[in-house]
Amino acid sequence: MSDAKKPWGGRFERSPSKFLDEFGASLPVDKRMWAEDIQGSIAHARMLANQGVISEGDADAIESGLSQIYREIRDGSFDFRIADEDIHMAIERTLTERIGPAGGRLHTARSRNDQVALDTRLFAKRRAVELLGATAKLRETLVRLASDHADTVMPGYTHLQKAQPVLFGHHLLAYFWMLSRDATRFRHAHEAADVMPLGSAALAGTTFPVDRRFVADRLGFVEVSANSMDSVSDRDFLLDLTYACTVTMIHLSRLCEELILWSSEEFGFVKMDDTYATGSSIMPQKKNPDFAELTRGKAGRVVGDLVGLLTVLKGLPLAYNKDMQEDKEGAFDAIDTTLDCLVVVDGMLATMSVDTARMRVAAHGGFMAATDLADYLVGTGMPFREAHEVVGRLVLTLEREGRTLQELSVAEFAAVDPAFGSDAPAAVNIDGVVARRVSEGGTGGEALATQLERARDVLAADTTWLEALAE
């Protein structure tokens, strides 16, 4: 039997065994929320004193005791005991041991159900801000690289086959917009978490004259929860944050897959800095993009974290259930993993070298000007389907001969179809092919310049949002 006195022990004649104490404890996971727990408890104690539920002296003693515990946990000298079950009881036990009955009054008008909901929301808000900041830093790097490579031509692919030439800066900005959508999801997750649940008690509210708005204002929440049962059982905000992490990891995985391909000898478009690569224990020549591969692999872990949380919450009756103790480990892992991977990918991009000459040579293969050649024929009045057929036959012939579209003379073009004029070779010039993509959002230089300006505006708006939160 466990010898530790339980906060609910009055109703029981026997306590769980040491094994069951360890099985049921969430302390190894939720002790990460110690700062949020102390912050919430101080606000709660001040509210109770303001409302005359406890004395000002008790509130002073509680705040002083909690402040001392805060310093000890921060400095690593606090005594965590698994028998405490969770971070809430670890702190409350220590507080009561030190300040006596005043510590026992702290839990007036609250339950661990609304307490853990509060801590988790505070934690989620803080980590959402950190994630948004990390996405902003990575997007800054993408914008800088895109600006540096605003005239670097490379092959664009569909089905992993060469399709049409694009600017490398345009390709990089595709990931900027993916990550910008991720940033929006992190902002929405922060908004979803920004609802104060304390005062809901176990599930039905409390008989004490609490001032929930006071606590919300002190803790920086914009709203107070509307329904006590929903308040203690809601983890949608955690789903939102974990989902945002999952989509971010999918995007990082896609980017890392391209970095892995581009750094291979077959592509040779980029080289990883030595600090973001490793070698082989047997093959001396190897330089492996291990950190890109690890990021790609960790995406699977975060997907699992989301599925796990969804499954935990599926089918739970109102209100709180012990199953919900399992809500944090996966969510915490998703947050930690995503933050780490954002840092890693930012470092890889910032330090890699780009072989622009190799990209340009590759952009001349694969008949990537074929669409422009068909468009040229359409400009002479030929229906597009007929033009498609003419160019398709030409590509088939050149492929057999081992030649490119750029090698054809004016006479050879005219021999294929009399609709081709003396300006036909200009239609397959790779720089011209890129430059003609002037539609909004296209890869042409002018369109890319507009896109870069728009990207900088989006980054500035996110920075303003983050700065407003910090005020």
- Residue 58 contacts residue 44 (beta carbons within 8 Å): no
| Angle at 221 (CA atoms; ends 217, 226), nearest 5 degrees | 100
Secondary structure letter of residue 325 according to DSSP: G
> Which residue bears the tokens 């002083």?
64
d(CA 88, CA 35): 11
d(CA 105, CA 215): 17
Strands 195-196 and 161-167: unpaired
Q: Considering 77, 159, 281, 439, which one is annotated as catalytic? A: 159
Name 415's bridge partners.
none
Query: Could you tell me which residues come within 8 angstroms of residue 158 by beta carbon, excluding any fewer than 6 positions away?
Result: none
d(CA 414, CA 419): 7
**CA 136 and chain centroid, separation:** 11
Residue 53 in tokens: 């539920």
Nearest to 295 by CA among 176, 138, 170: 138
Q: Considering 280, 353, 409, 422, which one is annotated as catalytic? A: 280
Torsion from C-alpha of 92, 96, 101, 105, nearest 10 degrees: -10
Q: DSSP characters for 196-226? A: E-TT-TTTT--SS---HHHHHHHHT-SEE-S
Cα–Cα distances (Å) from 274 to 145, 348, 358, in that order, read: 19, 10, 20
171 tagged catalytic: no
Secondary structure letter of residue 282 according to DSSP: S
d(CA 55, CA 461): 46
d(CA 105, CA 59): 9
Q: DSSP characters for 326-350? A: GGHHHHHHHHHHHHHHHHHHHHHHH
d(CA 67, CA 157): 58
Residue 100 in tokens: 């006596």
3-state secondary structure of 31: helix
Nearest to 156 by CA among 448, 430, 424: 430
88 tagged catalytic: no
Would you call the peptide bond into 319 cis, given omega within 30 degrees of 0 as the criterion? yes
* Kind plus residue range of the DSSP H or E element containing 434: helix 430-435
* H helices, E strands: number in the chain: 20, 6
Active centre residues (catalytic) = 159, 280
